[in-house]
C-alpha cells in the first residue's frame, strides 16, 4: 500500500524511498515487531481470562513439561499474535502482486484450521482437535487455490512451471507438467506445515528456527527479482518476487515479537494456529522463487524433527509386526524430547537447535555460489 507513495516523488523527493524494497522490508519488520509488542500482552491477558490453556500436559511432553515449567495452564493460540502482525504489516508495506496475494492467502487459509484445532482443544477440551482428514482437506484446498491462481495469472503462469535444484545453474525441468507440479507444491506446503507443527514443542524452539529460515528467504526472494544478481549467481530470475522480501521482513518482525513472549518460561504458545500457517507460508514462498530444495537445507531442523517422528513410528510398527513388540530408535519423538530425556535442560535444547538452524541457514546461502 505505502509503495504507491513512490509515484508522488516529484512532489516530495523522499517519497521515492517507498519504492525501495530494502526500505520497505525494514519498515515491514519494524511495523510487525511493534504490532506484536502492542497486541501481545492484550491477547495473552484475554487468553488467560478465557482460560485458553490446554488444562492438561500434552502427551508428547508428558512429565518433561512439568519438570521444567507447568505448561498446562499456559494459554495457546499465540499464533494469532504473529498472524495479525505479519498480515497487517505485509498489506501496509508490500506492493500487491500475484506472489504476495498467493502467499498471504496460504497463510490465512492455514491459520483457519489451526485456530479451529486449538479452539476445540482449549474450549471444548477435545484433546484430538480437528480430525486428520479435516486438516488434510484444508491444506489441499489451500494448495489447489494457490496453484490455480499461479497457473492462471500471466505474471506467474510461465515461471511456475520451472523446477530448479541447488548446485545446478539451469532449470532441471522446464516446463514441469501439471501432474508433477501439483504434488510438488502440495508436498512443500503440507510437508513444512506439519514439520513446523512437530517442531513446536519447546519454548521458543519453532519460532526461533523460523526466524533464521525467513532471513534466508528474504535474501533469496530479493536475488530472484534482481536481473543482474540472479544472472550473476546463476539462479532463476522471477520478476516481482522481490515483494516477498517484504513478506519475509514482516515475518521476521512478527516472530521476534512473539519470541519475546514465548521465550522460556513461555507466557503463551503459538499452537496450531501459528505452526501450521508458518510452515505453509514458508513452503509456498520457497516454491514460488524456485528454491524448494534450498528450503530443505535451510529448514534442516524442521526436516530433522519430522524425520525423527517418521523413523520412530515406522520402526515401532515394523518391529511390533516382526517381533511382536514395538521398539524405538529415540527415547522420545520428535527428537527435541529425546534430548530432554537424556537430561538436557529445555533451554539448552532450544539454544543448540537454534545454533543448528543458523548453520543450516548459512549452508543454504552457500549454495548460491556453488553452481
322 Cβ contact list (under 8 Å, min separation 6): none
Task: Decide if pLDDT at 244 tops 80.
Answer: yes
Task: Decide if pLDDT at 337 tops 90.
Answer: yes
* Tens digit of each residue's pLDDT (9 = 90 or more) over 8-48: 777 777 888 888 999 999 999 999 999 999 999 999 998 88
* Tens digit of each residue's pLDDT (9 = 90 or more) over 199-229: 998 999 999 999 999 999 999 999 999 999 9
Burial of 63 (C-beta count, 10 Å sphere; 0-12/13-18/19+): exposed
* Tens digit of each residue's pLDDT (9 = 90 or more) over 110-152: 999 999 998 888 887 777 778 888 889 999 999 999 999 999 9
Phi, psi of 364 (to 5 degrees): -65, -35
pLDDT, position 124: 78
For 32, the grid coordinates are 510487525
* Tens digit of each residue's pLDDT (9 = 90 or more) over 341-354: 999 999 999 999 99
- Residue 147 and residue 138: Cα distance in Å, rounded? 14
- Residue 287 and residue 183: Cα distance in Å, rounded? 12
Task: Decide if pLDDT at 58 tops 90.
Answer: no
pLDDT, position 50: 81
pLDDT, position 322: 87
pLDDT, position 230: 92
* Tens digit of each residue's pLDDT (9 = 90 or more) over 183-198: 999 999 999 999 999 9
Average pLDDT, the chain: 90
- % of the chain with per-residue pLDDT over 70: 95
Overall average pLDDT of the 245-266 stretch: 96
* Tens digit of each residue's pLDDT (9 = 90 or more) over 283-318: 999 999 999 999 999 999 999 999 999 999 999 999
Domain residue spans of the chain:
2-366
220 Cβ contact list (under 8 Å, min separation 6): 286, 289, 291, 294
pLDDT band with cut points at 50, 70 and 90 for residue 70: low
33 Cβ contact list (under 8 Å, min separation 6): 85, 253, 254, 256, 257
Among 161, 176, 143, residue whose Cα is nearest residue 281:
143
C-beta of residue 288 within 8 angstroms of C-beta of residue 103: yes
* Tens digit of each residue's pLDDT (9 = 90 or more) over 92-101: 999 999 999 9
pTM value is 0.92
pLDDT, position 59: 47
- % of the chain with per-residue pLDDT over 90: 73
Amino acid at each position: 500500500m505505502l509503495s504507491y507513495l513512490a509515484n508522488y516523488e516529484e512532489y516530495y523527493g523522499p517519497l521515492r524511498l517507498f519504492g525501495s524494497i530494502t526500505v520497505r522490508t525494514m519498515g515491514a519488520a519494524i511495523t510487525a515487531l511493534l504490532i506484536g509488542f502492542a497486541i501481545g500482552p492484550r491477547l495473552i491477558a484475554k487468553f488467560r481470562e478465557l482460560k485458553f490453556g490446554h488444562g492438561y500436559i500434552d502427551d508428547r511432553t508428558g512429565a518433561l513439561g512439568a519438570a521444567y515449567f507447568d505448561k498446562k495452564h499456559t494459554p495457546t493460540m499465540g499464533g494469532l499474535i504473529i498472524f495479525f502482525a505479519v498480515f497487517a504489516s505485509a498489506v501496509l508495506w508490500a506492493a500487491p502482486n500475484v506472489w504476495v496475494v498467493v502467499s498471504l492467502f496460504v497463510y490465512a487459509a492455514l491459520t483457519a484450521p489451526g485456530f479451529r484445532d486449538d479452539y476445540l482443544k482449549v474450549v471444548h477440551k477435545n484433546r484430538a482437535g480437528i480430525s486428520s482428514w479435516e486438516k488434510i482437506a484444508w491444506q489441499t484446498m489451500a494448495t489447489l487455490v494457490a496453484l490455480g491462481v499461479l497457473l492462471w495469472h500471466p505474471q506467474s503462469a510461465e515461471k511456475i512451471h520451472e523446477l530448479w535444484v541447488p548446485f545446478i545453474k539451469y532449470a532441471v525441468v522446464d516446463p514441469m507438467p501439471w501432474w508433477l507440479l501439483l504434488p510438488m507444491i502440495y508436498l512443500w506446503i503440507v510437508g513444512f506445515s506439519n514439520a513446523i507443527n512437530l517442531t513446536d514443542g519447546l519454548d521458543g524452539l519453532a519460532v526461533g528456527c523460523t526466524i533464521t529460515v525467513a532471513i534466508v528467504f528474504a535474501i533469496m526472494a530479493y536475488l530472484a527479482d534482481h536481473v543482474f544478481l540472479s544472472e550473476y549467481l546463476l539462479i532463476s530470475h522471477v520478476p516481482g518476487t522481490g515483494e516477498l522480501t517484504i513478506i519475509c521482513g514482516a515475518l521476521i518482525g512478527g516472530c521476534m515479537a512473539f519470541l519475546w513472549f514465548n521465550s522460556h518460561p513461555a507466557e503463551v504458545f503459538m499452537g496450531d494456529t501459528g505452526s501450521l500457517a508458518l510452515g505453509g507460508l514458508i513452503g509456498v514462498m520457497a516454491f514460488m522463487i524456485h528454491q524448494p530444495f534450498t528450503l530443505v537445507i535451510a529448514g534442516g531442523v524442521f526436516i530433522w524433527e519430522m524425520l525423527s517422528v517418521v523413523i520412530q513410528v515406522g520402526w515401532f510398527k515394523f518391529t511390533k509386526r516382526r517381533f511382536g513388540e514395538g521398539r524405538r530408535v529415540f527415547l522420545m519423538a520428535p527428537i527435541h524430547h529425546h534430548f530432554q530425556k537424556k537430561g538436557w535442560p529445555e533451554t539448552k535444547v532450544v539454544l543448540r537447535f537454534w545454533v543448528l538452524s543458523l548453520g543450516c541457514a548459512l549452508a543454504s546461502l552457500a549454495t548460491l555460489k556453488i553452481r
